[in-house]
Chains A and B, each alone.
Chain A
Amino acid sequence: MDWFEFPEMEREQLRDLRKGIDEGFRDFTRAYGETIENALYPVEWFLKHFENLLLDTPWIIVLLALSGIVYFASRRPWLTLGTFFGMALIGYFGMWEDAMKTLAMISTATLGSVLLGIPLGIGMAKSDRVQTVMNPILDVMQTMPSFVYLIPVIMLFGIGKLPGIIAVIIYAIPPIIRLTNLGIRLVDKEVLEAADAFGSTSWKRLTNVQIPLALPTIMAGVNQTIMMALAMVVVAALVGAPGLGQPVLKAINNQFLFMGVSAGMAIVILAIIIDRASQAYGQRLQSHREKEH
């Protein structure tokens, strides 16, 4: 036996395997692509309408509404002022429309991640078996280079908004799942025992004890998910998702430094606003913890 060569798979075998899997997935795409796309129609519908709403409404109203939302979420005047001028700056540099498309996309992706991720996280917290199955899947989702899972997404959905948003959700959902699981598992055992001792049903236990007590951790997960969704904006632009990723892509292809940096800065501004506002909101939800005796 030759000890210097790695005992590789035969070339032909490897080729057959590759062909088999590629063709298998292609067949799957042909057979079910449309069904899956139809099933995901609500996501597309929401994205389209939310985007239209942001784009059709006069900019000044959107700007005031955003500042207002930030104020009511955070109750911080300086953050609100910063939001106003930050967004105005984005508009002044000619990126208002792209920023609105990005905002629509990350909002949709975050909403989708939360709606899907929190129940999955609860499932993981309730059952060790589910956790054992989910953990490696989440590991793969988080470490697999995002360009790799763009391939099956493109094969399934082609180019456009939907594949963009699916890619963003796949990338952004792990933190909300993990942190929901963690938050619920860390809930004080004594309080849970008290809930049991008073005869709570498991639904009441979940909604009245576990979720409220896990909320700070869950909110940290939501915050992480939003940040990761924003980070995916440029990658999603590769598969045709509109928004601030497009000018970045164009800038890379043509070596337009200013265009790239300004679009990048616009993403940073959006990220800071959303991050600070969502964190402040999370803290306000926990106001009963602030006034420790």
Chain B
Amino acid sequence: MSGIQIKNLYKIFGDDPAMALDLVKKGMGKAELQDKHSHVLGLQDINIDMPDGGIQVVMGLSGSGKSTLIRHINRLIEPTAGEVIVDGVDVLGMSRGDLRKFRANKTSMVFQKFALLPHRTVQSNVEYGLEVQGVSASERHARSKKWIDRVGLGGFEENYPSQLSGGMQQRVGLARALATDAEILLMDEAFSALDPLIRTDMQDVLLELQSELKKTIVFITHDLDEALRIGDNICILRDGGIVQKGNAQDIILHPADDYIKDFVKDINRARVLRIDSLMSDDLANAGTMKLDRDTRLDEAARQMQEADVTKAQVVDSSDKVIGAIALDDIVNSMVEKVEVESTV
């Protein structure tokens, strides 16, 4: 089985994690564990199945354990209990040598604060992972050049990181991670340190690259907008435990609890929801206009208004009609959001 499976993962920080693990399994919460035994519950019974070739977003506020979780996938942090299986291989069972090879060839990572080598040029930073893999100098050169161009940094090869802006530095970080050709890309709050506009830019860069590369990406963020924009699958963490798993539609339409409702209420639904989440089977008066099922509500409303229709057919990727969508329903769903806000 490919992809990444995380099973019953626990991480407890402290002097005697085994003792604390027993207590947690008996139902002790994070606060109590901290007060009574001064152990910190990092992760609690995490089970995630991350499919091959998709983007799995892990979202949570600071202290929710998301950065701890991503570091278990390449074992920068040792778990207290549980299993991490990547491409059918148990990461926790690897010897030191195997783990090094696994990190060098299978996974690569992008960091929140870029973590570039300040004394190396852009080119030589991007080559770092290839150096570790033992790739020859000429091939390193060619491959790093290719990725520097792909992330839009052509011409900056000989610059040092300190000469670049934050957004450009993170492009170096991304190029460094992509250059190793690892199947798994771990992104730890990779865009969180960037300005909003540059962040959107980088999200576009990532999505565009992903549409072609089809890597297995684990993306950590504290920003729900970013999570909804990027993630095929989203998993929300709180206090080290999973609160909800699902895709963007699920999370917006069916938030699991008040915690998530609180997050979701400020989201621009029209930009996230797809028309297939609102469509009906009632094809009467559906007219001739056809909209793809993946169309977002705001885009659908705009197109329908421009064409001056009140109802349109919804089609799937093979152009087969699967339902109909009414402009009223779209408007209502947007209004519903306004109501939610006004009652708060």
Contact = CB atoms under 8 A, between A and B. Distances in A.
Instruction: Name which of A195, A196, A199, A209 has the most chain B CB atoms within 10 A of its CB.
Output: A199
Contacts, number: 76
B162 A199 contact: no
Given A199-B102, A199-B132, A201-B100, A194 B162 contact: no
Interface residues of A, number: 24
13 contacts: A190-B112, A194-B111, A194-B115, A197-B74, A198-B103, A199-B100, A199-B104, A199-B129, A199-B132, A200-B100, A201-B100, A286-B119, A293-B165
A198 B76 contact: no
Interface string A186-214: 00101101111111110010001100110
B91 to A, nearest CB: 13
B113 A190 contact: yes
Nearest to B105: A199
A197 B118 contact: no
B157 to A, nearest CB: 14
Nearest to A292: B162
A288 interface: yes
Please list the 4 inter-chain residue pairs (A to B) with the smallest Cβ-Cβ separation, ordered nearest first.
A199-B104, A199-B103, A194-B115, A288-B160
Q: Is chain B's binding surface mostly helix, strand, loop or mixed? A: mixed
Nearest to A287: B160
Contacts of A286: 119
B117 A208 contact: yes
Contacts of B108: 197-198
B109 A204 contact: no
B115 A191 contact: yes
Contacts of A129: none
B128 interface: yes
A188 B115 contact: yes
B118 A213 contact: yes
Interface of B: 74, 76, 99-105, 107-109, 111-113, 115-119, 128-129, 131-133, 160, 162-165, 180, 186
Given A194-B111, A199-B103, A288-B118, 11 more contacts: A191-B116, A197-B108, A197-B109, A198-B104, A199-B104, A199-B105, A199-B129, A201-B132, A204-B132, A208-B131, A291-B162
Nearest to B118: A288
B103 to A, nearest CB: 4
A288 B162 contact: yes
B251 to A, nearest CB: 29
A256 B206 CA distance: 78
A293 B111 contact: no
A176 to B, nearest CB: 20
Contacts of B101: 199
A11 interface: no
Contact of A194 (B99, B109, B164): B109
A289 B118 contact: yes
A213 B104 CA distance: 22
Nearest to B168: A293
Contacts of A193: 76, 111, 115
A198 B119 CA distance: 18
A209 B115 CA distance: 11
Contact of A196 (B103, B131, B163, B164): B103
Nearest to A285: B119
A190 B115 contact: yes
A197 B116 CA distance: 12
